[in-house]
Amino acid sequence: MTSIQTKTTPIYSLNWLRGIAAVLVCLYHFRVYVWHNEIPNMLHRFINYGHLGVIIFFVISGFIIPYSLYNKGYKITNFTQFLVKRTLRIEPPYIIIIALIIMIKYYVYTYITGITFILNIKEILLNITYMAPFVNVEWINVIFWTLAIEFQFYILTGLIYPLLMRSKLIKYSLFVAILALGFVIPDKYQTVFQCYIYFVVGFQTFLFFTKNIAFTEFLLSIVASIVFMYVFKSVEVIPFVVFTVVGIFTLNYKNRIADFFGTISYSLYLTHGLIGGNISLIIKPEAPKFIVYLFILFNAITFAYIYYYVIERLFLNLSKKIKYSGNI
């Protein structure tokens, strides 16, 4: 299997899936802001697994990152450009939201609660560099742990992608070795190795999508991955993985609503905790809970839309200007 450089055709299903994943995560987190531990049973059943929307994001990354490298004719000599592109794409919006969180926390501490605000530069730097869990430092926002997993995946994929495309023996040997590391490295460090099975599913889907593996190999690898999840992860993640794989093929048509939510999905993921948490603090306790729930969701989506067009899109466009050396 060799990489080829072609003009990529939009994969509309990814917008569907990104949007669904982001909204699921929002619904899951907002339920706590509104109902705390008294969530209505019907709603509880519907959104109790919303946090597993992150699994959809992992499978998507496992698919789209190698798909992009494949179409751009990526070589290991392009690693630096690749990492700079990804860093410029995701890091500035992430840093800016951290700055907003700190500023709001400073205001609340200083002018509302009267508590002395202490700016911990070390904590901030460890969050920005995704190193927080390695030195037992808390995330400024707990949802940011998934961004660390994603960034580790970018580094790992940039390094081993050419090997993964070389032969089946090398590919599956690397898969096994990386998954094995997930059993050796403690979970508290929150590394890509513990989550790599979801990226494997995405990678195999990419290979089948681009006709680099036959259906039989694709199906067997997906079944093997599901068995792995059943034994070593949890049954709950399996429907989300299957839905994502099936969705990549069956939802591949343009839809304005899907495009909207897919476009703002990263901004929504970054900002929803900040918006939801702060709005829930100023809403009167006697307000109808479900109305408050929808109000928070609406405002989170609105803010994410603004954040995308003011902040994220700027760095997205800048990252697109970086070209791989040696490629047209």
> What pLDDT, on a 0 to 100 scale, did the predictor assign at position 42?
63
- Evaluate if residue 102 carries a pLDDT over 90: yes
Would you state the pLDDT for residue 110? 82
Torsion of CA 119, 146, 190, 92, to 10 degrees: -50
Long-range contacts (CB closer than 8 Å, 24 or more residues apart) made by 229-232: 229/197, 232/197
The residues that bridge with 72 in the sheet, in sequence order, are 5
Query: Is 149 part of any domain?
Result: yes
Rounded CA separation 284/292 (Å) = 9
7 occurs within a structural domain: no
Confidence at residue 282, expressed as pLDDT on a 0 to 100 scale: 80
Q: What is the pLDDT of residue 44?
A: 67
Per-residue pLDDT reduced to its tens digit, 119-128: 899 999 999 9
Report in angstroms the alpha-carbon separations of 165 from 2, 8, 67, 248: 7, 19, 11, 21
Q: Kindly tell me if the per-residue pLDDT of 307 is higher than 60.
A: yes
Question: What's the whole-number average pLDDT of the chain?
Answer: 92
Q: Is residue 292 part of a domain?
A: yes
pLDDT tens for each residue of 154-195: 999 999 999 999 999 999 999 999 999 999 999 999 999 999
Percent of the chain at pLDDT > 70 equals 93
> Is residue 214 over pLDDT 70?
yes
39: pLDDT strictly greater than 80: no
Q: Which whole number is the average pLDDT over 277-282?
A: 82
> Are 130 and 152 in contact, with CB atoms under 8 Å apart?
yes
Number of domains forming the structure of the chain: 1
Confidence (pLDDT) at 326: 60
66 within some domain:
yes
For residue 279, what pLDDT is reported? 85
Question: What is the per-residue pLDDT for 306?
Answer: 98
Higher pLDDT: 10 or 182? It is: 182
- What is the C-alpha separation between 137 and 116, in angstroms, rounded? 20
* Per-residue pLDDT band at 323 (split at 50, 70, 90): confident
Flag whether 215 is in a domain: yes
4 domain residue, yes or no = no
Q: How many CA atoms lie within 13 A of 303 on its CB side?
A: 19
pLDDT of residue 328: 40
CA distance 239 to 217: 21
Q: What percent of the chain has pLDDT over 90?
A: 77
Weakest-pLDDT range from 34-43, 107-116, 263-272: 34-43
Q: Which domain holds residue 300?
A: 13-320
In this structure, of 93-102, 175-184, 214-223, 286-295, the range with the lowest mean pLDDT score is 286-295
In-domain check, residue 327: no
Residue 85 exposed, middle or buried by CB count within 10 Å (0-12, 13-18, 19+): buried
Report helix angle 145-164 to 192-209, nearest 10. 50
Helix ranges (DSSP H) in the chain:
13-35, 41-47, 53-71, 79-107, 121-128, 145-164, 168-184, 192-209, 215-232, 237-250, 256-282, 289-307, 313-320
Q: Is the pLDDT of residue 6 over 60?
A: no
Helix (H, G, I), strand (E, B) or coil at 10: coil
In a domain, 325, yes or no: no
